[in-house]
Amino acid sequence: MADLLYPPVIGAARAWFKALDLRFDIHGTEHVPARGGAVLVSNHISYLDFIFTGLAARPAKRLVRFMAKESVFRHKISGPLMRAMKHIPVDRSRGEQAYGHALDALRRGEVIGVFPEATISCSFTLKDFKSGAARLAQEARVPLVPMALWGTQRLWTKGRKRDFGRHHFPISIRVGEPVPAESDETAVGVTERLRERVHDLLEAAQRAYPVPAAGAAGAWWQPAHLGGSAPTPAQARAL
pLDDT tens by residue, 52-82: 999 999 999 999 999 998 999 998 989 999 9
Q: Indicate the pairing of strand 111-114 with strand 170-175.
A: unpaired
> Residue 167 — very low, low, confident or very high, per pLDDT cuts 50/70/90?
confident
Element (H, E) at 27: strand 23-27
Mean pLDDT of 180-207: 96
Confidence band for 34, pLDDT divided at 50, 70 and 90:
very high
Domains and CATH numbers, the chain: 6-238 (3.40.1130.10)
| 213 confidence band (pLDDT: 50, 70, 90) | low
Q: In angstroms, rounded to a whole number, what is the distance separating the alpha carbons of residues 38 and 64?
A: 9
Q: What is the pLDDT of residue 211?
A: 76
Strand (E) or helix (H) holding 141: none
